[in-house]
A and B are shown apart, each in its own frame.
Chain A
């Protein structure tokens, strides 16, 4: 059973550097979501794709964040000019239909030095 896959699992970088994360959703799922989770909090919505179209972005998502989903398959989340406050777990989830439960990957933990 191939679930949602995220790479890398951990990323350590210096403040000001750019980072990119990858998410491979469950193959038949056309909806893909990115969340951010900090310690002791629930996941916070960042953005959402239906196939290759990015349909919703949270106000939390500053201009330094960009996400893509070319060809409606895998997705990437890039953070430019990283800041200390970007340290978090970045989670990807996918679902087949709206209203269906989202299935999560194990996340990428980002640490900013």
Chain B
């Protein structure tokens, strides 16, 4: 069964203090790894897709990287508005269907 584990569960940073979130996965036949941001009471907002080991994507203060076993979401000089829960999800074939499995997320709080 596909598994996605995110760490840490919660992270508190001072504004400007860079850090990384981890997503480790066990899946047969990875078709894609997705990062989402979720604000309280809202649906997940798509950030990045990574398809193969070595791939990197950047958007503003966020950079996502992928290896064969894990992905990192690097946050450079975060601001309070980056506070949210960050979800990682993997997509793989399961009985002819490309199933998406989510981790439980990392809740990030950035303090001014």
Stretch of A13-21, A42-50, A68-76 on the interface side: A42-50
* A contact residues around B31 at 8 Å (CB): 98-99
| List of B residues within 8 angstroms of A109 by Cβ | 41
Interface string of B69-112 (1 = CB under 8 A from A): 00000000000000000010101000101111111110000000
What distance in Å separates the Cβ of A31 from its nearest Cβ neighbour in chain B? 9
Interchain CB contact under 8 A, B103 and A104: no
Which size bracket describes the interface of A in this complex?
Answer: 20 to 34
Given contacts A42-B105, A44-B102, is CB(A103)–CB(B46) below 8 Å? yes
A4 within 8 A of B: yes
B96 CB → nearest A CB, Å: 8
- The total number of A-B Cβ pairs within 8 Å is 54
Residue B16, interface by CB 8 Å = no
Chain A residues near B44 (CB-CB < 8 A): 43, 91, 104
The B interface, classified by DSSP as helix, strand, loop or mixed, is strand
**Quick check: B46 and A101 within 8 Å, CB to CB?**
yes
Which of B31, B43, B95 neighbours the largest number of chain A CB atoms within 10 Å of its CB?
A: B43
Instruction: Using A43-B44, A104-B44 as known contacts, list a sample of 12 further A-B pairs with CB atoms less than 8 Å apart, ordered by residue number in A.
Output: A6-B43, A42-B4, A42-B103, A42-B105, A44-B102, A45-B101, A56-B97, A98-B98, A99-B31, A99-B32, A101-B46, A109-B41
B-side residues, CB < 8 A to A, are 4, 31-32, 34, 36, 41-46, 49, 87, 89, 91, 95, 97-105
Residues of A whose CB lies within 8 Å of any CB of B are 4, 6, 33, 40-45, 48, 55-56, 91, 93, 98-107, 109
